[in-house]
Chain A
Amino acid sequence: MSVLDEDPLSHERLDVELGSSWEEAGGRFTIGTAMEIDALIEAGVEEADVFIASTNGDNTNLVVAQIAQRRFKVDRVIARVLDPRRAAWYQEQGLQTICPTQIAIEQLQQAALGEVL
């Protein structure tokens, strides 16, 4: 497991509740932005079997996921996309997307109808 994040604080956050450090638990951490090829390589994209793009920006996720897919030929690439329509369209284009908004809508609908989740 290798994490790439711009913010060193995210590294500290990973340690919390682990009881050991992230590295001791077998994790890797790279500080950098995923738009930089060097940072992706440093984080190990070339050896990755799975690549998950889950920054807080849809646009970054969609671009970076496509870089992992097309440039680094990662087998399984998943992008977090909040916008349901674009999530659906990119899924049709062959990029696996997870849309938290869509999931929330479905769960909220169930909750509103009194269904137990």
Chain B
Amino acid sequence: MEDGLYVIIAGAGKVGWNLARELLEKGHEVTCVEQDRRRYLTVEQELEHAVQYGDATELWVLERAGIQRADLVVAVTGDDEDNLLICQVAKEKYLCERIIARVNNPRNLDHFKLLGIQPAVSATDLILRLIEHEVPRYGLVHLLDLPEERLEIIELVVSETAPAAGREIQNLGLPEGALVISVLRGGSGFVPKADTVVEAGDEVLVVLDPGIEQDITDLFVGETAHG
């Protein structure tokens, strides 16, 4: 991260407080805004002037916190509507270039996308992804999703019965819009060539257009992997 950012954090709960502490330690300037008076008084004992009392959805509170010069606004209150609107005014009214919103209820994630509030971070979503990574139930792990760019990278473990096992990359019949970019075998990774033979147990990284995940799964994991 670049030096000397000015960061406004809305919400001084566990996430906001710890984030403020970390950013201050890294030498950034931080103002935390907390609307609960008792919580504010607790946090103020440590953060002192770096925390202000107020409701960050109110424009004057954001202005008092210096939103006009903020490099980054992070909304991590426990209320999704608040986080959404704080980021919306930060971005559209005060033209803050960088915003990050916390999504408490993953069902609200669509609302954040609809209103252009990105990135929106959901703890549930992060944990789900970690679980997916640890326990790849359908043999497929999403490593990177760039929906705007219509691009994603997935990781699959080649099964014994997969059509791809024992065949050369060039003979796999990969669908249009898919490319094998890396193979992990025996603890080390390499970039495959056209004549590299895919083996059962290989972990393959595939970059692909969204929408053809199932074709790729069928090929590397097998038809049984339908979720």
Instruction: List the interface of chain A (C-beta within 8 A of B).
Output: 35-37, 57-60, 62-63, 66-67, 70-71, 83, 85-86, 89, 93
Contact = CB atoms under 8 A, between A and B. Distances in A.
Contacts, number: 43
Interface stretch (B81-89, B120-128, B174-182): B81-89
Contacts of B84: 59, 63
Given A70-B114, A71-B114, A86-B59, A59 B92 contact: no
Given A35-B81, A62-B85, A67 B114 contact: yes
Contacts of A37: 110
Contacts of B114: 66-67, 70-71
Interface centre among A37, A63, A89 (most CB of B within 10 A): A63
10 contacts: A35-B80, A35-B111, A59-B79, A62-B85, A63-B85, A83-B59, A85-B58, A86-B57, A89-B59, A89-B93
A63 B93 contact: no
Given A59-B79, A66-B115, A71-B114, A35 B85 contact: no
Identify whether the interface residues of A are mostly helix, strand, loop, or mixed. Answer: helix
Given A59-B79, A70-B114, A70-B115, A35 B60 contact: no
Interface of B: 57-60, 79-82, 84-85, 89, 92-93, 107-108, 110-111, 114-115
A36 B81 contact: no
Contacts of B60: 85
A59 B81 contact: yes
B33 to A, nearest CB: 15
A57 B108 CA distance: 17
Given A35-B108, A66-B115, A71-B114, A83 B58 contact: yes
